[in-house]
């Protein structure tokens, strides 16, 4: 049975993550928001610290853990609190400090989660220490990942990749990119595979870096692949096309990354709630947890409703990560957590700006920045609408062809 308290063995690590967020990330938050595309050099020290904690077995990285579950595997019946829950808890604390800086951490990209989830043991060893971004979205393919047009053609002992990827987080700074491409467009989603492409591979070019509403300290790139030759052993998972489950191995990555993004949203929302609570207290607004909200001032009632939504998002996120640690299928719960947390972060941060008035809209506090940062958390790794569609299919027992 899941226990929703922070496990005792993680408490020291969570405290360390919070200290890093308070002393390193948040103090630099405004600077790197304004200095878009400038590399946050402070993160090199932080990455070395995270590597040291991971090597000692006392910590887990932001995106290094994965969901590795064999077909039909349900666990041994013993409750585990492992790397997925540890990653979620640490990400929550770090994004309390700054979401964009967390996304800029070396060797903690979303591509690292893909490698950790589906790579072979040999690949795990070979790509150890690599900073990997994830390249899925294309100009004509957003939420419908099955509509990918980037191609991968086998030529001897290499695959030749051709296509364009947009909105690649850390695409300019990373060491390698996990690229989703199709082996045969006519076979649809079954032919989609993922490839680890080192950034110095001939034929891979960074076309541009995007200017964005939020998470400005994180670089977001457009990548082009033209006759880009990738060693065949860099394909993640089986090279065979299985019409029944070929896409499942690639999609398994999301079982890991969606709870991570949910944790980012939960951390950002908590930061806004804490600052807003202090501002309301300074203004003389009293929060009374023993009285019905309709008997309290409007500002207090609004805050309590936001806090309740945050609590639900937090618990759903822990549940999705805990299920992954215990080798339980968590695709449904991962989508539920992502949908709830993404929307909650948007609602909470914007309403906090409103509650704080001019202080929330100005740069006196980070409230306006958190409102900008939170928007992407309801979009990437599957939009709000896509998550609701996935949940509906799971609950109703419908396929993607039956429920669109």
Please indicate whether residue 381 is annotated as part of the active site: yes
Query: Nearest to residue 116, comparing CAs of 257, 245, 240, 298?
Result: 257
> For residues 104 and 108, what is the distance between their CA atoms, to the nearest angstrom?
8
Kindly report, residue by residue over 271-291, the tens digit of the pLDDT: 999 999 999 999 999 999 999
Residues 148 and 204 in one domain: yes
Q: Do the domain assignments include residue 207?
A: yes
Grade residue 146 by pLDDT with cuts at 50, 70 and 90.
confident
Structure token pair of residue 153: 């053609």
Q: Which residues span the domain enclosing 390?
A: 248-396
Average pLDDT, the chain: 90
Q: CB–CB of 54/60 below 8 Å?
A: yes
Handedness of CA 195, 198, 203, 208 (dihedral sign): positive
Q: Do the domain assignments include residue 199?
A: yes
Residues 195 and 258 in one domain: no
Residues 232 and 258 in one domain: no
Q: Do the domain assignments include residue 404?
A: no
Residues 260 and 344 in one domain: yes
Q: Do the domain assignments include residue 401?
A: no
Residues 114 and 231 in one domain: no
Q: CB–CB of 256/324 below 8 Å?
A: yes
pTM of this structure:
0.92
213-237 mean pLDDT: 97
Catalytically annotated residue among 164, 207, 381, 402: 381
> For residues 377 and 218, what is the distance between their CA atoms, to the nearest angstrom?
13
Kindly report, residue by residue over 50-70, the tens digit of the pLDDT: 766 555 555 444 444 555 554
Structure token pair of residue 21: 């967020």
Provide the domain count of the chain: 3
Give DSSP secondary structure letters for 257-279. HHHHHHHHHHHHHHHHHHHHHHH
Residues 91 and 217 in one domain: no
Tell me which of 216, 236, 256 is where a domain ends: 236
Q: Do the domain assignments include residue 333?
A: yes
Query: Nearest to residue 251, comparing CAs of 141, 114, 401, 134?
Result: 114
């Amino acid at each position: 049975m899941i226990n929703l308290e922070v496990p005792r063995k993680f408490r020291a690590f969570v405290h360390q993550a919070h200290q890093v967020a308070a002393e390193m990330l948040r103090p630099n938050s405004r600077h790197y928001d304004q200095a878009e595309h400038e590399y946050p050099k402070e993160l090199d020290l932080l990455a070395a610290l995270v590597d040291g904690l991971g090597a000692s077995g006392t910590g887990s990285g932001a995106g290094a853990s994965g969901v590795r579950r064999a077909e039909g595997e349900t666990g041994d019946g013993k409750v585990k609190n492992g790397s997925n829950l540890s990653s979620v808890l640490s990400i929550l604390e770090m994004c309390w400090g700054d979401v964009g800086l967390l996304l800029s951490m070396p060797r903690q990209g979303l591509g690292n989660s893909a490698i950790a989830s589906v790579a072979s043991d040999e690949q795990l060893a070979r790509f150890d220490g690599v900073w990997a971004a994830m390249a899925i979205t294309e100009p004509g393919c957003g939420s419908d990942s099955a509509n990918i047009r980037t191609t991968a053609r086998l030529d001897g002992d290499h695959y030749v990749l051709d296509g364009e990827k947009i909105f690649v987080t850390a695409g300019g700074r990373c060491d390698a990119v996990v690229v989703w491409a199709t082996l045969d467009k006519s076979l649809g989603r079954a032919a989609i595979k993922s490839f680890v492409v080192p950034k110095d591979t001939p034929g891979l070019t960074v076309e541009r870096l995007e200017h964005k509403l939020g998470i400005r300290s994180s670089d977001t790139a457009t990548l082009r692949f033209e006759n880009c030759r990738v060693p065949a052993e860099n394909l993640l998972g089986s090279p065979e096309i299985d019409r029944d489950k070929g896409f499942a191995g690639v999609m398994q990555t999301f079982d890991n990354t969606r709870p991570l993004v949910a944790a980012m949203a939960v951390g950002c929302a908590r930061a806004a709630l804490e600052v807003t609570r202090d501002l309301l207290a300074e203004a003389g607004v009293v929060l009374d947890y023993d009285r019905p909200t309709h008997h309290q001032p409007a500002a207090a009632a609004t805050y309590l409703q936001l806090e309740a939504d945050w609590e639900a998002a937090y618990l759903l996120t822990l549940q999705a990560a805990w299920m992954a640690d215990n080798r339980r299928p968590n695709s449904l719960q991962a989508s539920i957590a992502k949908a709830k947390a993404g929307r909650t972060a948007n609602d909470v941060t914007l309403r906090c700006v409103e509650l704080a008035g001019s202080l929330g809209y100005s740069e006196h506090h980070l409230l306006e920045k958190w409102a900008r940062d939170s928007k992407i958390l309801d979009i990437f790794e599957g939009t709000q609408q896509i998550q609701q569609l996935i949940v509906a299919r799971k609950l109703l027992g419908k396929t993607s062809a039956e429920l669109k």
